[in-house]
Amino acid sequence: MKGYVHSIETFGTVDGPGTRYVVFMQGCPMRCKYCHNPDTWIPNTGKQKSAEEILDDCERYKAFWGKDGGLTVTGGEPLLQIDFITELFEKARERGYHTCLDTSGIIFNENNPALMEKFDRLMKSVCLVLLDIKHIDAEEHKKLTTHSNEQILAFARYLDKKNIDVWIRHVVVPGITFNEEYLTKLGEFLGTLNNIKALDVLPYHTMGVVKYENLGYDYPLKGVEALTTEQGHEAREIIRAAYHRVKDAK
Ligand code: SF4
């Protein structure tokens, strides 16, 4: 089987623990207003690669991984190619690699037994999930990404049940998610889960604008300023405090 790959970063340091070989998969059903990889959106394009090709290439870099590093798959939305990712991760685990899946979980659907079988199988070879929660409020999530967050929150609960380690990633955007009420709700939701190992608060930046111009797309957040580091710390603190309030009340 071959997967559609957008690009590969051989020395990634921001997509999971340690130094990592990062595979950006092609295709995403969402249209997050702040997406800085709009060139990954269209499915079934890009380079076609087999799991072996990717893993053989990993061998050239794994000496740099140390004890924490490994293989990360991101996108786009890697779960659009769940069969390929499953094959890739199963073979990666046979080689002893640490596997990390960066996803929004948008395709998760507990009402689809055939798909759930695929999720259950994939999870057996996933060491860590980086779960991108875009917005905790259902309506605001739709406005921000064009999709509901229902499946994403269900996926978070599923990962908790499966006892899979999760790092939460949350992009904080002025005027959209930089909002005390929403950040508190997010922290409270996370407080109901028992598998959260880290929280990555990612301050919104405008570095993706050039890609939109090159692709001839309108940039949806024109005029929105980047979040400052200080505001990022403030947002993190609000989420963290709400998380601990829920944990302490248990
Ligand atoms: S889920 Fe990721 S790749 Fe897809 S639109 Fe959102 S930010 Fe972009």
Domain of 76, CATH number, reads 3.20.20.70
Nearest CA to ligand 1 atom 3: 76
**How many Cα atoms are found within 13 Å in the side-chain-facing hemisphere of 67?**
0
- Centroid of ligand 1 to alpha carbon of 145 (angstroms): 8
Percent of the chain at pLDDT > 90 equals 97
Q: What is residue 37's predicted lDDT score, i.e. its pLDDT?
A: 92
CA distances from 211 to 15, 35, 74, 133, 225 (A): 21, 10, 18, 23, 17
- Long-range Cβ contacts of 47-51 (<8 Å, 24+ apart): 47/4, 47/5, 47/6, 48/2, 48/3, 48/4, 48/5, 49/2, 49/3, 49/5, 50/1, 50/2, 50/3, 51/1, 51/3, 51/84, 51/87, 51/88, 51/91, 51/92
Nearest CA to ligand 1 atom 8: 35
Q: Does residue 81's CB lie within 6 angstroms of at least one atom of ligand 1?
A: no
Helix/strand/coil percentages in the chain, nearest 5: 40, 20, 35
pLDDT tens column, 48-102: 999 999 999 999 999 999 999 999 999 999 999 999 999 999 999 999 999 999 9
Q: Provide the mean pLDDT of the chain.
A: 97
pLDDT tens column, 130-178: 999 999 999 999 999 999 999 999 999 999 999 999 999 999 999 999 9
pLDDT bin (cut points 50, 70, 90) of residue 208 is confident
Helices (H) and strands (E) in the chain, counts: 8, 8
Does 250 have pLDDT greater than 90?
no
Contact 119, 83 (CB under 8 A): no
Q: Does residue 104's CB lie within 6 angstroms of at least one atom of ligand 1?
A: yes
- Centroid of ligand 1 to alpha carbon of 168 (angstroms): 15
pLDDT bin (cut points 50, 70, 90) of residue 10 is very high
Residue 246: both structure tokens together:
């829920």
- Centroid of ligand 1 to alpha carbon of 38 (angstroms): 7
Contact 72, 102 (CB under 8 A): yes
d(CA 114, CA 76): 23
Ligand 1 site-directed mutation target among 15, 24, 40, most atoms within 8 Å of CB? 40
The count of domains in the chain is: 1
- Neighbouring-strand partners of residue 103: 131
Q: Which domain holds residue 213?
A: 2-249
Q: Does residue 121's CB lie within 6 angstroms of at least one atom of ligand 1?
A: no
Contact 19, 65 (CB under 8 A): yes
Q: What is residue 207's predicted lDDT score, i.e. its pLDDT?
A: 86
Percent of the chain at pLDDT > 70 equals 100
Q: Which atom number of ligand 1 is nearest to the Cα of residue 40?
A: 3
How many C-beta atoms lie closer than 10 Å to residue 103's C-beta? 25
DSSP 33-47: TT-S-GGG-SSS-SE
d(CA 135, CA 117): 27
Q: Does residue 30's CB lie within 6 angstroms of at least one atom of ligand 1?
A: yes
- Neighbouring-strand partners of residue 9: 22
237-244: average pLDDT: 98
Nearest CA to ligand 1 atom 7: 35
d(CA 4, CA 20): 20
- Centroid of ligand 1 to alpha carbon of 235 (angstroms): 21
Stated length of the chain = 250
Q: Does residue 77's CB lie within 6 angstroms of at least one atom of ligand 1?
A: yes
